[in-house]
Amino acid sequence: MAMKQAIADWLTAIETHRYPEDVRDILTRDYQKGWGAISDDELQEVERSLRLQFFLSTNGDPELQQAYFEHLLEMAERIRDGAAFIAEYAPLIHGAAIHKAVDVCIEAFLDELPEDEERHRGLFGGGRGVRDWNELSLGEGGVDFFPSSPAREPFKTFFQTAPQEALRLIRAICNHAMDVWRQLNALDVQFGRTPRALVLKFPWGEQEFWGNMRVYGFYRGINGPHIWIVLLWRLKNGRFPSWRTEEARMTLFSTC
């Protein structure tokens, strides 16, 4: 236990050192002792090695893993590749810690909404283009989702180990993307339209869906955010009977 905690302490200390809250701290650091005496390239290799050792040693210790994911959430914008760490070591994440891993992924994958961007840009921020429609303000958190595949991590492990958490992540991504799509229609003077919802009746109640022919074609891998295509393919394959229940369907469609 002491060794696992030591590895976690070293890892979080190095990450805090390499990604300071104020980048000006880099200019005033002491490069003669402590972490500062090690070159950044060497320190990056140490960080990678410690991260591997951490996940290997804590595979049966959800509390330490949850604490590390809390650390990544606190680092937020300072470590934009937090989701990449989770994807790389997804099979080693304890089932009881996946809910915190999903929190990190939600933070990493959902970028700023167009209306918020407009407020920050001001009067001279520029217009909207094809890239906005292709990405729908969905980031990848350092993960490479191209080429799209339903076997991509961390979604594969999330569905196998904690399907309800996987559905929570999908719901967050789908709702965010649809909010972005509706806002782009209002903001883009060239490509924007006035969307109408498609209302369908299911055994669990009525459900609104937003989109157009282009959006509904994303599940075929056409002109959509790679991360969203991966999720849709994961759902389309339907190889996970543990979540193909009415309770799971209600969880997925409760807000999107």
- Could you read off the pLDDT of 68-78 as tens digits, one per residue? 999 999 998 88
What is the rounded distance in angstroms from the CA atom of residue 227 to the CA atom of residue 205? 28
Average pLDDT, stretch 10-27? 88
Lowest mean pLDDT, pick from 32-41, 117-126, 134-143: 117-126
pLDDT of residue 126: 61
* Model confidence band, residue 254 (pLDDT cutoffs 50, 70, 90): very low
Mean pLDDT of the chain: 85
pLDDT of residue 9: 96
- Could you read off the pLDDT of 201-217 as tens digits, one per residue? 888 788 888 888 788 77
Q: What is the pTM of this model?
A: 0.84
Residue 245 per-residue DSSP state = S
Residue 124 per-residue DSSP state = G
pLDDT of residue 65: 97
Is the distance from CB of 60 to CB of 94 less than 8 angstroms? yes
Is the distance from CB of 9 to CB of 68 less than 8 angstroms? no
CA R_g for the chain: 21
Per-residue pLDDT for 255 more than 60? no
Residue 202 per-residue DSSP state = E
CB half-sphere exposure, 117, CA atoms < 13 A: 15
Residue 210 per-residue DSSP state = -
How many CB atoms neighbour CB 243 within 10 A? 18
What is the rounded distance in angstroms from the CA atom of residue 37 to the CA atom of residue 93? 32
Give Cα 1 distance to the centre of its chain.
30
Average pLDDT, stretch 165-177? 92
Residue 79 per-residue DSSP state = -
Question: Which residues are within 8 A (CB) of 146 and not within 5 positions of it... i.e. 6 or more apart?
Answer: 226
Nearest to 16 by CA among 61, 79, 69: 79
Per-residue pLDDT for 228 more than 90? no
Helix H segments across 136-194?
155-161, 163-187
- Could you read off the pLDDT of 91-111 as tens digits, one per residue? 999 999 999 999 999 999 999
Sign of the four-CA dihedral 146, 147, 153, 159? positive
